Amino acid sequence: MFNASALIVLLMAAGAPVQDLAALDDRIAQFTGAAIGEEGGAMHPIDRRLKLRPCAAPVDIGWRSDGRDTLILQCPDAGGWRLYMPVRAAAVAADAGAEAIAVQRGDAVSIAVAGQGFTISRPGQALESGAVGDWIKVRPVTEARRRADIMRARITAPGVVSLPSA
């Protein structure tokens, strides 16, 4: 059976205006201060197969986290789109003393408790970012509708935190 309204929607979508992706690539380069593919710049241009609705307001660009490894591009219009763009890491001087972020806020983590001859772990979510050795807030993942209590745990490896043993 032929659906005329579906055909009209398809035809309108085929000729609908799209966001200028080359202009977004230029804005990303201006924001990062580096060209696409260069150290500190986007790893690659925005995929030209994307057909994004044009934004009436300027597209917001910002860092996803303090690690500055991913940009977020967001159309602020109601029902707007959001893109994540990986950034080529800038080299850090060895003597700079910068510690690498091992856990980002929102990451899934394994919460471990160790005792004499045993280790128990369960999945959780990081509520703060940090490097190995830092203490951060975490929340265990629960299957029930209630939220688990927030705990403080020490980052022992990327994606792994440990609770102090009693």
Measured in whole angstroms, the distance separating CA 35 from the mean position of its chain's CA atoms is 21
Taking residues 77-88, what's their average pLDDT? 88
Angle of CA points 53, 56, 60, to nearest 5°: 85
pLDDT tens string 23-38: 999 999 998 889 998 8
Mean pLDDT of 109-132: 86
Alpha helix positions (H), 59-114: none
Q: How many domains does the chain have?
A: 2
In the predicted structure, residue 135 carries a pLDDT above the cut 80: yes
pLDDT one-digit tens code per residue, 41-75: 898 999 999 899 999 989 999 888 777 888 889 99
Residue 40 lies inside a defined structural domain of this protein: yes
Domain boundary residue, one of 32, 67, 90: 90
Radius of gyration in angstroms for the set of CA atoms belonging to the chain, rounded to a whole number: 22
pTM of the predicted protein model: 0.47
Domain final residue, candidates 90, 112, 129: 90
Residue listed under structure tokens 């080529």: 88
